[in-house]
Structure 1
Amino acid sequence: MRSASFDKGEVIDSIMRAFWEHGYEATSIQTLEAATGLKRQSLYNAFGNKDAMFELAADRYDLVVSRRLLAALDNDDPRAALSDFFAAQLAVLEDAGQPAGCFVAGGQQELANRADTAIGEKMSALIGVQYSALVAAFERWKEQGALTDDADPQALAGAVMALVRGQSVLGRSQSASDIIARTAKTLPDLFERYYAH
């Protein structure tokens, strides 16, 4: 059996970008053919059906985008970490080489009524990973004394998630680019009351 004559990683990147740009429903097999340069049978043989390709796209987004944002939380200074986190998100939203908005936020909205399907569960899992990472960061900062005693790690993580989703929705509109750029700089200050010093 002859091996595929294409780079699977590059094709998955193209599949990710297609779903990111058009959303799940609007991404047809013709859209995926155009995005990848492959015929449908080659796509199906290599990656499975549309749902399977969407799951691969979600995993790739998690690897190349979400994990990069979450890496900013490793800083032991919560103010600096959140500043880096929101700056990293802004860089993604402002990247002209990427589709507008956020793959996860868009997918979550679009697939809200499919929570019991594999693709719905995939989106819920990605959101869960992000939320858990934020909770862990706030818990660590609190244990280290970098946050006030009354800081609630779960509530603060939820607040960050809400802010990120709001920025992502605004990021879909070209006319909002100035708004999200200025807002991103002020977001870490919203948590000032909980910084211990």
Structure 2
Amino acid sequence: MLISVISDTHLPSIFRNPDGLGPELGKFLSQTDLIIHAGDVVRPSILDWCEQFAPVKCAKGNNDEFDDPRAEDKLLLELLGWRIGVVHELRPEDRPMSELIFQAFPEESVDSLDVLISGDTHVPRLEYRDDVLFVNSGSPTLPYHLEWRHGSAALLNLTSDGIAAEIVSLGETPDRPNPIETSSLVIHR
């Protein structure tokens, strides 16, 4: 199962939807079975835009003051036997995984999640620590809080035996270089 992870689209703004930056994000999303948005969507029309490519699940961010059945304050998903938690904000991200999980899901034990996804920082992060895959996809539209340009997303390839995860650069914007450094890792049960 291919899952795309995005966060912090912050649209509409100067663009109505991500197509304003070009087709790259749409092409990326169209190859996946599920889109997880880790918040700061801003308007549900962006979830509509995403849904033309694949089903969407969203954890609301601090800029998401709307009601939509696709968006919840936080998400707990089970996909192919993997438990995935999604929440928008987990700063600072370098704390022990037990603290991050307790902040996001105080009712869950530390060993109950396999994957923890967050957003908010606009900076991609991919690491495996304390037996949990931590994913922050960065922002596809405002990487590192720089002016509008192509940024990053994350791709999770789930099987019942493992997860291949990567941070993906969504290309270049003329005269605005993409600051993203790609990374990848594979975990097995």
Please indicate, yes or no, whether the TM-score normalized by the shorter chain is above 0.5.
no
Q: Which structure features the higher share of helix residues?
A: 1
Q: Greater relative contact order (Cα 8 A, min sep 6): structure 1 or 2?
A: 1
Decide which structure has the larger Cα Rg and report it.
Answer: 1
TM-score by length of 1: 0.26
Q: Which structure features the higher share of strand residues?
A: 2
